[in-house]
Amino acid sequence: MIESGQLVMLVSPKGKRYFRVLQTEDILNTNDGQLQMQNVVHQGYGAVVYTHLGRAYTVLKPTLYDLIKSVKRRTQIIYPKDIGYIIVKLGIGPGCRVIEAGCGSGALTTALAWFAGNSGQVYSFERREEFAALCRENLEKIGLESRVKIAGRDIAQGFGVKDADALFLDVRTPWEYLEHIPEALIPGAPMGFLLPTVNQVSTLLAAMQGGPFSSVEVLEIIVRRYKPVPERLRPEDRMVAHTGYLIFARLGAASGQDDGEPADFIFEQEKEYVEP
Amino acid sequence: MIESGQLVMLVSPKGKRYFRVLQTEDILNTNDGQLQMQNVVHQGYGAVVYTHLGRAYTVLKPTLYDLIKSVKRRTQIIYPKDIGYIIVKLGIGPGCRVIEAGCGSGALTTALAWFAGNSGQVYSFERREEFAALCRENLEKIGLESRVKIAGRDIAQGFGVKDADALFLDVRTPWEYLEHIPEALIPGAPMGFLLPTVNQVSTLLAAMQGGPFSSVEVLEIIVRRYKPVPERLRPEDRMVAHTGYLIFARLGAASGQDDGEPADFIFEQEKEYVEP
Amino acid sequence: MIESGQLVMLVSPKGKRYFRVLQTEDILNTNDGQLQMQNVVHQGYGAVVYTHLGRAYTVLKPTLYDLIKSVKRRTQIIYPKDIGYIIVKLGIGPGCRVIEAGCGSGALTTALAWFAGNSGQVYSFERREEFAALCRENLEKIGLESRVKIAGRDIAQGFGVKDADALFLDVRTPWEYLEHIPEALIPGAPMGFLLPTVNQVSTLLAAMQGGPFSSVEVLEIIVRRYKPVPERLRPEDRMVAHTGYLIFARLGAASGQDDGEPADFIFEQEKEYVEP
Amino acid sequence: MIESGQLVMLVSPKGKRYFRVLQTEDILNTNDGQLQMQNVVHQGYGAVVYTHLGRAYTVLKPTLYDLIKSVKRRTQIIYPKDIGYIIVKLGIGPGCRVIEAGCGSGALTTALAWFAGNSGQVYSFERREEFAALCRENLEKIGLESRVKIAGRDIAQGFGVKDADALFLDVRTPWEYLEHIPEALIPGAPMGFLLPTVNQVSTLLAAMQGGPFSSVEVLEIIVRRYKPVPERLRPEDRMVAHTGYLIFARLGAASGQDDGEPADFIFEQEKEYVEP
């Protein structure tokens, strides 16, 4: 038994994946014929259900990784390796209010919505209506659309959001929007950026020196995969070498103190702690 | 203003970090004197508050990364780079029920509890009472203890949990416990392992061939950091080269089908999709 | 003017490369017609010479990298990244006597012959006559065949060479031949191995513990390439992730001392010196 | 028996290494007392010889790697991993005439002299007399000084060399010297550069667009080491993450052709061949 309202993944005999928020009366039209959601509800996770043409579909509870992999895309998406680190670094979790621009096809949007939960809120900005529509479609398919507000607003005029907990910019010229960050976030809030070239990283770092930003970090996440053969274990022959550089920082505190003492974000432990 | 019950991070002039679930009447004893939590409540995030000795502490809302970094440890911890990927891969999120063994100092436990939210549940197994106590202490400090059940139980006798959504084993000989996984997880559920040596990876892979496991993957996550100097941008001179190998798999379906047709977990897209 | 006897590389309009030891009277038959070597001799490096069909060929002095890239191959070859390190580590240079098995298509053989010079000698062992012939052909094309003796001998019966300066094994089961190494090398001589899987590395290391080997090292060489665009500098999207593991060691000294004091190869500096 | 004139490495009980060009009558003064070279000559490689205080020294034939490791240094040196690749890429070998600037402590100089052999010639430029002296001292110790001409000349006025086979610049602002390269090298000759920051790489690439340079490549060489324990094989915990970026190019042909047809260096195979 799977409860109605749960998100399920239905895997075709050929490995094609369908995502569905379960409604007992629904019917899924697949390339292999019709699937009664009622059967899915009754059979439960791990079961095999059959289309009216007798094709076997496996019922699974999707992971976030499954969702990201299946994002219908017309843009380069942010990859799971980067998303995982971004989430931890930005402190995204249940109840979180987070700003993102642009949303592109919605891979990171999906992750932000997933983790923010029902009590959180994702503010997504995307100037190109085609991508905003695609992102919305991707979110609706998996039932996460209510957690995300997608706006077509040009962020050159600010984000129109206050006291957000975190921010991530996946745009070509993030330095043009730095000035609007302080008014959108709570003081000390974490932020991140993704940029493909070293020239952009350099330009962003220079712009950030104008403040108020602290704890600036630049890094890359690399995944090296192995062929999972126990008696001939070895790395894959080829790998993805680059998706982008990640830049993280913290909003330097607006002091609010009349003594003008600057808030200190240089964490002692930052130096002691070698984080791989 | 910060609401009572919120988790705050207080950073000393020297960068030492204190975590506290805010209670208006509380007093924090620091190396720099006493801090009135009342002041923290009123001043809000980003503010600087003073101890009775006049030392300035900055008030921040901690990210998960902050929490992991500050885990008091007596064991090797799992690092944020690995934790981020594990979370995405295992599909941890609000409402999730997840099994973990052993908990060690509690870095991954902290992350699992963070993402599972109030509606989720983390089942942690740790044979050594000293580590269980340390993990519990770390969780209590940040107010996440209610989301975690830590058991001293020897998992060689099973997990004593049913229908969990995911499982992660950070133990020396995970192959000894494979037989107990099917009864603990929902069919098709994701699982992960962390192992430092290739010999262990090889042994685990061989044991997993006995089934019922599918979609087996082996990988490493590498973080390469850069010195964030815009006009002299370059990688750090040295880096962490290895923490451990991550192995992921999915519980091969318990069929429950009388036609005996095997559930098919070989996802077509798995091959098309190059995930870095 | 280029002297007769020099090795030249002739690059076709489409980038195809021809190698030739210059003889004034020779004619090179290309896909683009005949090239008079006499013209090449007179025009010199960097010049453009024309076939009888009027196609322009550029005359260059080839580097070793050019030669390795153009090795006609029917096997996986050892790559320049690995070859460069092997040469330095084994101390190959003018006058060197070095043993290699198997030679495969001859990429490493080419490099060994290149560096050993006219006063050196390369002893190559290759059981499969087809590969030996291919290697010989590759060497003859570039005029290095006189520096290499290729033997079909099965090295399970020893190398039949004495007092060589270095040895490299690129065979599937190098541990089967360890016993023959001491009689083939001068005491203290360096040796290397290339193996694709961790299981093989582990087996070799275990076999080497039987001695007499010291200063054992295991490593990988990884090349990360960048798109050479000054204003959009970034790593290539994909890269070669693995060719093989390199294992190096030194032949533990046969002491020859009647006091039985063991020669000490544990170099103090080995630990201080971090070699990237 | 070792022939007089051979280079030997004498390793102290504590692993300290002494290099010496063997002369039968010489005496080596060590921290452990005097060593008679006569004994070394007679005992041969791998033998243990004793100082007058009875301390055991092992006699070895040094590899290039040994020499590079032992370079007495007052500057950052170029590492073996980079040197190996540079040598292959630049086509250094017996008889080669190669230009280098600056020589620093002489690690690359040592390698160039090693491979160029007695018939080759290394032209080293070093403005700072202290480094030139140190480099000379390092070369003399190992008997390679006759292969190297070290000049204090400022290369901003050119190299004063003609028709060299290859060139390598390890200087801070290589773009300032590009104009002097064509007159120093044979047409089509390979050249290389080592630069620590991406900003420098970007500046160099932009300057090279002014020509006449072709086949421009940018890459890094990374060495990942493993703990050589057969039953617990795993990468080292930490590694060198960065030494510098390597840039390679070929001198674009001075055509010398009156038809003005440009020499074509876009090698077809360059694209087909994935060199790791």
Residues in D closer than 8 angstroms to B240, CB to CB, are: 237-238
B204: confidence class by pLDDT, cuts 50, 70, 90: very high
How many angstroms separate the CA atoms of C204 and C157, rounded?
Answer: 19
Q: Name the minimum distance, in Å, from the CA of B39 to any CA of chain A.
A: 12
Q: Which amino acid does the sequence have at A114?
A: W
Task: Report the distance separating Cα C247 and Cα C190, nearest Å.
Answer: 11
pLDDT of residue A257: 36
Contact B81 A117 (CB under 8 A): no
Of A197, C230, B196, C222, nearest in space to D241 by CA? C222
C234 plus C193 within the same structural domain? yes
pLDDT at A266 over 70: no
Alpha-carbon dihedral B104, B105, B107, B111, rounded to 10 degrees:
80
The residue of B173, B197, B198, B201 whose CB has the most chain D CBs within 10 angstroms, and thus the best one to mutate to test that interface, is B197
User: Is D254 among the domain residues?
Assistant: yes
Residues of B in CB contact (< 8 Å) with C are: 198-199, 202, 238
Residue of B nearest to D172 (CA): B232
Cα separation of D219 and C228, whole Å? 9
Same domain, C72 and C31: no
Q: Are residues A73 and A52 in the same domain?
A: no
Instruction: Tell me, yes or no, whether B38 and B124 share the same domain.
Output: no
CATH number of the domain enclosing D144: 3.40.50.150
Domain assignment present for residue A2? The answer is no
Q: Does B38 map to a domain?
A: yes
Q: Give the number of other Cβ atoms within 10 Å of residue A211's Cβ.
A: 10
Q: In terms of residue numbers, what domain contains C21?
A: 7-62
Look at the block and give the residue holding tokens 């007495």.
D72
Q: Which residues in chain D touch residue B241, judged by CB atoms under 8 angstroms apart?
A: 224-225, 235-239
Taking an 8 Å cut-off on Cβ atoms, the answer to whether B238 and D233 are in contact is no
Whether residue D74 is found in the same domain as residue D160: yes
D260/C192: higher pLDDT: C192
When CB atoms are compared, the residue of C199, C233, C237 closest to A241 is C237
Is the pLDDT reported for residue A208 higher than 90?
A: yes
Q: Kindly determine whether residue B273 and residue A69, on different chains, have CB atoms separated by under 8 Å.
A: yes
Domain boundary among D43, D62, D81: D62
Percentage of residues in chain B having pLDDT higher than 90:
89
Residue A30, pLDDT score? 94
CATH at C44? 3.10.330.20
Cα C255 to Cα C276: distance, rounded to the nearest angstrom: 32
Backbone angles phi, psi at A249, to 5 degrees: -155, 175
Residues 6+ away with beta carbon under 8 Å from C266 = C214, C215, D15
Determine, for residues B236 and D224 on separate chains, whether the beta-carbon distance falls below 8 Å. Answer: no
| Chain B with chain C: Cβ pairs closer than 8 A | 6
Residue type, C50: Y
Residue C115 Cα distances to A60, C118, C185, D87, D98, angstroms: 60, 9, 19, 10, 15
User: Phi first, then psi: what are they for A26, rounded to 5°?
Assistant: -65, 155
Give the mean model confidence (pLDDT) for residues A243-262: 67
Q: Do A81 and B276 touch (CB under 8 A)?
A: yes
Sheet strands (E) in chain B:
7-11, 17-21, 27-30, 33-36, 48-50, 56-60, 97-101, 121-125, 148-151, 166-169, 190-195, 213-227, 234-235, 238-240, 245-251
Pair D164, D97: CB distance under 8 Å: yes
d(CA A201, CA A244): 10
Say which of C225, C232, C239 has its CB closest to residue A238: C239
Q: Do D239 and B235 touch (CB under 8 A)?
A: no
Nearest to C230 by CA among B104, D40, D199: D199
Query: Do C12 and C57 form a contact (C-beta atoms < 8 A)?
Result: yes
**Touching partners of C (3+ C-beta pairs < 8 Å):** A, B, D
Higher pLDDT, C90 or B274: C90
CB D102 within 8 A of CB D176: no
Among B231, B233, B241, select the one facing D235 at the smallest CB separation.
B241
* pLDDT tens profile B65-108: 999 999 999 999 999 999 999 999 999 999 999 999 999 999 99
Residues β-bridged to residue B271: none
Residues of D whose CB is below 8 A from C194: none
Residue C179: CB partners within 8 Å, gap ≥ 6? none
Collapsed DSSP state (helix, strand, coil) of residue B149? strand
Between chains, do A245 and B226 touch, taking CB under 8 Å as contact?
Answer: yes
- Does B103 lie in the same domain as B18? no
List of chains touching D (3+ CB pairs within 8 A): A, B, C
Q: Is the distance from CB of D273 to CB of C67 less than 8 angstroms?
A: no
Return the axis-axis angle of helices C107-116 and C129-141, rounded to nearest 10°.
50
- The shortest C-alpha distance from A144 to chain B (Å) reads 13
Nearest by CB to A80, which of B66, B85, B242?
B85
H/E run at residue A106: none
Say whether both A114 and A211 belong to one domain.
yes
C-beta atoms of D253 and C47 within 8 A: yes
Residue with the larger pLDDT of the pair D106 and A211: D106
In-domain check, residue C165: yes
> Does D224 map to a domain?
yes
Q: In C, which residues are within 8 Å of D267 by CB distance? A: 11, 15, 17
Q: What is the mean pLDDT of residues C207-226?
A: 96
| pLDDT tens profile B236-245 | 999 999 999 9
Q: Which residues, 6+ apart, have CB-to-CB distance to B23 below 8 Å?
A: B4, B5, B37
Q: Which of B17, B35, B62 is the last residue of a domain?
A: B62
Q: Which residue has the tokens 């360890």?
A: C178
In B, which residues are within 8 Å of C198 by CB distance? Answer: 198, 202
Among C36, C62, C88, where does a domain finish? C62
Task: Give the pLDDT score at C265.
Answer: 38
Residues B80, B49 share a domain? no
Radius of gyration for chain B, computed over Cα atoms and rounded to the nearest angstrom: 22
* Within a domain: A33: yes
Residues A57 and A161 in one domain: no
CA distances (Å), C157 to each of C65, C153, C250, D101, in order? Answer: 34, 8, 22, 49
How many domains does chain B fold into? 2
Q: Is the pLDDT of residue C152 over 90?
A: yes
Q: Mind spelling out the 3-state secondary structure of chain D? A: CCCCCCEEEEECCCCCEEEEECCCCCEEEECCEEEEHHHHHHHCCCCEEECCCCCEEEEECCCHHHHHHCCCCCCCCCCHHHHHHHHHHHCCCCCCEEEEECCCCCHHHHHHHHHHCCCCEEEEECCCHHHHHHHHHHHHHCCCHHHEEEECCCHHHCCCCCCECEEEECCCCHHHHHHHHHHHECCCCEEEEEECCHHHHHHHHHHHCCCCEEEEEEEEEEEEEEECCHHHCEECCEEECCCCEEEEEEECCCCCCCCCCCCCCCCHHHHHCCCC
- C11-66 pLDDT, tens digit each: 999 989 999 999 999 999 999 999 999 999 999 999 999 999 999 999 999 999 99
Q: Give the pLDDT band of residue A211 (cuts 50, 70, 90).
A: confident
Q: Is residue B1 part of a domain?
A: no
Residues of B in contact with A269 (CB under 8 A): 15-17, 69-70
- Cβ–Cβ of D256/C68 closer than 8 Å? no
pTM equals: 0.93
- Helix-helix angle A198-208:D198-208, to 10 degrees: 130
Given a cut of 70, whether residue B37 has pLDDT beyond it is yes
Is residue D1 situated within a structural domain?
no
Contacts of C37-40 spanning 24+ positions with Cβ under 8 A: C40/C2, C40/C8, C40/C10
Q: How many CB atoms lie within 10 A of CB A105?
A: 21
Subunits in contact with chain A (3 or more CB pairs closer than 8 Å): B, C, D
State whether D46 and C274 contact (CB < 8 Å): no
* pLDDT greater than 80 at residue A120: yes
Confidence class of residue C1 from pLDDT cuts 50, 70 and 90? Answer: confident
Distance from CA of C260 to the nearest CA of B (A): 36
Residue of C nearest to A200 (CA): C232
The pLDDT, as a whole number, for residue A215 is 94
Query: How far is the C-alpha of B125 from the C-alpha of B108, rounded, in Å?
Result: 12
Local structure of residue A68 (DSSP, 8 states): H
Q: C-chain residues within 8 Å CB-CB of D45?
A: 186-189
Tell me: pLDDT of B263 over 80. Answer: no
Report CA-CA distances (Å) from C150 to B209, C99, C174, D93, D232: 43, 10, 19, 22, 38
Is there a single domain that holds both residue C182 and residue C52? no
What's the pLDDT score for residue B142?
97
Q: Using the beta-carbon criterion (under 8 Å), do C242 and A233 form an inter-chain contact?
A: no
Residue pairs between chains A and B whose CB atoms are closer than 8 Å: 309
How long, in residues, is chain B? 276
C-beta of residue D38 within 8 angstroms of C-beta of residue D21: no
Residue type at C96 in one-letter notation: C
C114 and C243 housed in the same domain: yes
Report the gap between the CA of D198 and the closest CA in chain B (Å): 6
Give the closest-approach CA distance of C232 to chain A in angstroms.
Answer: 6
Per-residue pLDDT, averaged over C220-247, amounts to 98
Rounded average pLDDT over A20-45: 95
Walk across the sheet containing A17-21 and list its strands.
Answer: A17-21, A7-11, A56-60, A48-50
Say whether both D13 and D106 belong to one domain.
Answer: no
Taking any CB pair shorter than 8 Å as contact, residues of chain D touching chain A are: 198-199, 202, 238
User: Which residue ranges of chain D lie beneath pLDDT 70?
Assistant: 253-276
Average pLDDT on C207-220 reads 95
Which residues from chain D sit within 8 angstroms of residue A274, using beta carbons? 238
Q: How far is CA B172 from CA B200, B244, D154, in A?
A: 8, 12, 61
Residue with tokens 């690690």: D107
Task: Work out the average pLDDT over B141-165.
Answer: 96
User: 């200087």: which residue's tokens?
Assistant: D171
Nearest to B63 by CA among A186, D197, A74, D179: A186
